[in-house]
Amino acid sequence: MWLFRHSQCTSKVRLVGKTVVITGANTGIGKETARDLYRRGARVILACRDIQKANDALEDLKKNPPSRADRKQFQGNPGELVIYRLDLSSLKSVKECAKNLLTNESAIHLLINNAGVMMCPQETTEDGFELQLQTNYIGHFLLTLLLLPKMQSSLPVCRIVNVSSRIHIFGAIHDDLNLKESYTPLKAYMQSKLANILFAKELARRLKEANISGINVYSLHPGAITTELGRHFSETVFPGANTVLRAILRPILKNPEEGAQTTLHCAVDEKAANETGLYYQECGVATPHWRARNDQIAKDLWDVTCRLLHLKSDEDLATFLKTISRQIAE
């Protein structure tokens, strides 16, 4: 059963000369993804909201290799580790981070949209969006579009990886995306994770339609993992819920290194290089819920998101990317 499987990314590829951006890389599976890719020789950018936490993570990543450091892919020199500030709950911060990346980095080959929050109390961001929607989905949507032109010039092969969740199967995209009248912490999380998959699917379709080749898009469920993701459970489920649930579920939970394997598979696996727009779990292609496969829902969500971000979505993708790049440069 998938719940108890702990598949491994089997690729031995080295990433010397490749630049990777990972959001939320200071802890959890983002940090373990960074540890692996750094040891494969990549320049790994930790895009984090808390610079102190990011610095602590950087020190740990430098000192400690992945648990099975004897593997071939970790044998050469490690790459580089760099920190950029990124708070996905602020569009201003997303634009600033993108601008800094576009200015300072000569290439971006891999973008891993990993950061996330789960089941927090209802909160509206400075941009007027529900917090989980913006952090998990809208912030990543904007970041991705802003970085795409740089990725286009970093070919031959680039990948965008959206970390979603199996829990999307219970989610829906609601007319009231911000759930102003009907917020529950779980409903908002499930919607945002469904949006991660629909975004990957629709972006892959639009890239194909615009004849932009060499940028593949993936979404995935990483498994159930012991990370800090449940940090809000005690506020929104019941007092002490995070500790109690961890203790009960521990036997079936993955550790963060195991939890990073499907992200790594999507990011580096050689066979996955021929795939785009698909959803993965346990290091293989999987079938998401019908809503996550629905073309119309994916297109509608793209259009609504563009409207919310005041972007004109009816242009073809190439023109659209030029327009938003111009906007950010202003």
Ligand X SMILES: NC(=O)c1ccc[n+]([C@@H]2O[C@H](COP(=O)([O-])OP(=O)(O)OC[C@H]3O[C@@H](n4cnc5c(N)ncnc54)[C@H](OP(=O)(O)O)[C@@H]3O)[C@@H](O)[C@H]2O)c1
**Catalytic (active-site) positions:** 189
- In the bound state with ligand X, the residue whose beta carbon lies nearer, of 81 and 321, is 81
The least CB distance from residue 260 to ligand X, in Å, is: 8
**From the list 18, 49, 159, 168, which residue makes contact with ligand X (rule: CB under 6 A)?**
49
Could you identify the residue written with the tokens 């999307």?
Answer: 168
- In the bound state with ligand X, the residue whose beta carbon lies nearer, of 25 and 301, is 25
Name the 3-class secondary structure at 186.
helix
- In the bound state with ligand X, the residue whose beta carbon lies nearer, of 56 and 316, is 56
Burial of 290 (0-12, 13-18, 19+ CB in 10 A): exposed
Should residue 66 be labelled a site residue for ligand X when binding is judged by CB under 6 A? no
19-23 and 284-286 strand pairing: unpaired
**From the list 20, 44, 58, 86, which residue makes contact with ligand X (rule: CB under 6 A)?**
86
Name the 3-class secondary structure at 161.
strand
**From the list 36, 87, 202, 269, which residue makes contact with ligand X (rule: CB under 6 A)?**
87
Helix/strand/coil (H/E/C) assignment for every residue in 53-83? HHHHHHHHHHHCCCCCCCCHHHCCCCCEEEE
Cα atoms in the 13 Å half-sphere on the side-chain side of 253: 16
- In the bound state with ligand X, the residue whose beta carbon lies nearer, of 229 and 317, is 229
Token pair of 41 as six digits: 């020789």
Range list of H helices, 87-221 = 91-104, 131-132, 139-152, 185-209
205-264: contacts with ligand X (CB under 6 A) = 221-222, 224-225, 227-229
Could you identify the residue written with the tokens 């980095």?
Answer: 105
Should residue 281 be labelled a site residue for ligand X when binding is judged by CB under 6 A? no
Could you identify the residue written with the tokens 């080295």?
Answer: 14
Should residue 316 be labelled a site residue for ligand X when binding is judged by CB under 6 A? no
Residue whose C-beta lies closest to ligand X: 28
Phi, psi of 101 (to 5 degrees): -65, -45
90-119: contacts with ligand X (CB under 6 A) = 114-118
Should residue 289 be labelled a site residue for ligand X when binding is judged by CB under 6 A? no
Question: How many CB atoms neighbour CB 253 within 10 A?
Answer: 18
How many residues bind ligand X, per CB under 6 A? 30
Token pair of 137 as six digits: 């989905």
Name the 3-class secondary structure at 154.
coil
6-35: contacts with ligand X (CB under 6 A) = 23-24, 26-30
The least CB distance from residue 29 to ligand X, in Å, is: 4
- In the bound state with ligand X, the residue whose beta carbon lies nearer, of 29 and 83, is 29
125-164: contacts with ligand X (CB under 6 A) = 135, 163
Q: Which residues bind ligand X (CB under 6 A)?
A: 23-24, 26-30, 48-50, 53, 86-89, 114-118, 135, 163, 165, 221-222, 224-225, 227-229
